[in-house]
A and B are shown apart, each in its own frame.
Chain A
Amino acid sequence: MTLTRRQALALSAAGAALTIVGWGEGAHASPKAAADDIAKFTGGKTAEQGKIVIELPEIAENGNTVPLSVSVDAPMTEADHVTEILVVAEGNPNPGVATFHFTAMSGKAEASTRIRLATTQNIVAVAKTSSGKIYTASKLVKVTIGGCGG
């Protein structure tokens, strides 16, 4: 089916109307900016892959509210516990998302929240422990542009 000129114009105009409004179009962070944040957090030390479980949907129904959970299976004793988990979003205008701070009184190194994602991207978590260990893990989340409706 060939598009008439009128239809083609209408469709491209509709395309403009349907783009995401207001979440820093064009101002994307890069994995480098996220890496800088991580380097600051770790003091430049290398992180060990694994140990952190990141729960995120494979496809986010809407990038404005995406449920996130991070956890580290750790003893959480006074002597040895996870002290912080940093979360960064490689594809957001600014990579910082949140830093969770734990104590031995936390009982579990686990926290959940809901985040905003500008585009399909990797979410990276970095965990520090009181004994000086550093772990990292990442997860890819697909973020779609919705259909219609305001």
Chain B
Amino acid sequence: MLNNRTMIAALCAVAVVFGVVLQRASADPVKDTLVIDGKKMITETKPPEGHPLDVVRSGWLYREKDTRELEADSFENPGSLYVARGAKIWNTVEGSAGKSCASCHNEAAKSMKGVGASYPKWDAAAKRPINVELQIDKCRVENMGAKAYKFDDPKQRALTTFIKHQSFGMPVHVDLSKGDLKAWWSKGKDEYYTRFGQLNLACASCHELNNGKHIRADHLSQGNANGFPTYRLKQSHMVSLHNRFRGCIRDTRAETPKAFSDELMALEVYVTWRGSGLSVETPAVRQ
């Protein structure tokens, strides 16, 4: 179980090595409203039953003014380029069946509305959770006669961004009553509080116990998933949720689980739930 003293000691040790004083006082998230093209986004909300925090907040509130403004302007948001790219892929025929996504799903604005807000869902055939990336692959293989995308293929990221964007503004809500999602949610919860790696850090170490504080120069958010795939300034392209999971876990100096592995699927179910009620911001802009 997490020991507050040990965890703070570990974080201080990190700070000491890099010569940076870990701020004990909270550098709070801003008080700001996110309005995009007249649509007021929910960036702060009451958590669902059983949630450990008092308020659920979007990562947007923890970013600098310039970064926040970049997301608020739908023209300037570089993520919009990937939404456009995803739209092109949606209409492109691929595979032996000679179909495009549009052949079956027609207008994405109608058919994909709510997908970004309600996934991951339960895949009864595979007996595990399914996210948007895996759903795309399932459709490609089973209905289009096309190959599954390699993880983080630029086309996969663009298409996932486009599909999730059709739920823009809608509050995140995963229906845990379906299939065995509750069990996977529990598994994800256990992982969230388990210390990983040589740095012995759990997701909760930073995102629950220290959100609002800084780790080196990074302003820690609650680590919610409502903006993914996000346009990260660092990579200057869309970053998928599993890529981010792996990056964080790698930085605790642990072996990184494979994308879409049982561990990361369980974590996705749980982490998505932690952000329940926040608006889908895809494509969000983060550092």
- A residues with a Cβ closer than 8 A to B are 1, 3, 6-15, 17-18, 57, 59, 61-62, 64-67, 144-150
* Contact present for A14 and B251 (CB under 8 Å): yes
* Contact present for B215 and A148 (CB under 8 Å): yes
* Contact present for A64 and B233 (CB under 8 Å): yes
B105 contacts chain A at the CB level, 8 A cutoff: no
Per-residue CB contact flags for chain B residues 212-249 toward chain A (1 = under 8 Å, else 0) read 00111110100000000000111110010001101110
Find chain B residues with CB under 8 A from A59 CB.
Answer: 64, 217
Q: How far is the CA of A145 from the CA of B78 in the complex (A)?
A: 22
B81 contacts chain A at the CB level, 8 A cutoff: no
Question: How many contacting A-B pairs (Cβ < 8 A)?
Answer: 90
B164 contacts chain A at the CB level, 8 A cutoff: no
10 A-B Cβ contacts within 8 A? A10-B198, A11-B199, A13-B198, A14-B14, A57-B65, A64-B236, A146-B287, A147-B215, A149-B244, A150-B246
**A147-B253 contact in complex given A1-B13, A15-B17, C-beta closer than 8 Å:** no
Find chain B residues with CB under 8 A from A17 CB.
Answer: 250-251, 253
Q: How far is the CA of A15 from the CA of B233 in the complex (A)?
A: 21
B interface residues, tally (CB under 8 Å): 37
- B residues with a Cβ closer than 8 A to A are 9, 12-14, 17-18, 63-67, 70, 78, 198-199, 206, 214-218, 220, 232-236, 239, 243-244, 246-248, 250-251, 253, 287
Q: How far is the CA of A61 from the CA of B69 in the complex (A)?
A: 13
* Contact present for A57 and B66 (CB under 8 Å): yes
Q: How far is the CA of A64 from the CA of B65 in the complex (A)?
A: 16
* Contact present for B18 and A147 (CB under 8 Å): no
Q: How far is the CA of A141 from the CA of B8 in the complex (A)?
A: 31
* Contact present for B216 and A147 (CB under 8 Å): yes
**A1-B18 contact in complex given A18-B251, A148-B251, A149-B248, C-beta closer than 8 Å:** no
Q: How far is the CA of A117 from the CA of B65 in the complex (A)?
A: 18
* Contact present for A65 and B251 (CB under 8 Å): no
Q: How far is the CA of A6 from the CA of B198 in the complex (A)?
A: 8
Find chain A residues with CB under 8 A from B248 CB.
Answer: 148-150
Q: How far is the CA of A10 from the CA of B251 in the complex (A)?
A: 11
Find chain B residues with CB under 8 A from A145 CB.
Answer: 216-217
Q: How far is the CA of A145 from the CA of B217 in the complex (A)?
A: 6
Q: How far is the CA of A66 from the CA of B69 in the complex (A)?
A: 12
* Contact present for B233 and A61 (CB under 8 Å): yes
Q: How far is the CA of A7 from the CA of B252 in the complex (A)?
A: 12
Find chain A residues with CB under 8 A from B206 CB.
Answer: 148
Q: How far is the CA of A147 from the CA of B244 in the complex (A)?
A: 13
* Contact present for B214 and A147 (CB under 8 Å): yes
Q: How far is the CA of A144 from the CA of B214 in the complex (A)?
A: 12
Chain B minimum-CB-distance residue to A58: B64
Find chain A residues with CB under 8 A from B214 CB.
Answer: 147
* Contact present for A149 and B233 (CB under 8 Å): no
Q: How far is the CA of A145 from the CA of B216 in the complex (A)?
A: 8
Return the contact of B17 from the options A12, A64, A149 (Cβ within 8 A): A12
